[in-house]
Structure 1
């Protein structure tokens, strides 16, 4: 079974470096949720594990891509 987790540091990096549209297209997380996170209207700590895991997975993928 695949281990699922959310990493707030990685999610913050993702939000700082990519547009809500890009994140939405690669995770299916709604743009309004992503905008709320970016604007501080919603806290990362209050995300569901599923959403946090999707955002973390994308952040890991993008960090690996940018380091190559």
Structure 2
């Protein structure tokens, strides 16, 4: 998985590219590509977070089961 630092950098790039697009629309393809990368990383992060939640729930349930 790519890092949260990558995502933070992409947010910065996106914001700078947005300013460039306003002044020169030839930057639009690059802006759109960065937007796609951000969406991809956000999806990866959400999936990873969901997996962590499930893993934590399994561990808690396992401990509870062991106590019974």
TM-score, normalised to structure 2, is 0.37
Higher helix share: 2
Higher relative contact order (CA 8 A, sep 6+): 1
TM-score, normalised to structure 1, is 0.37
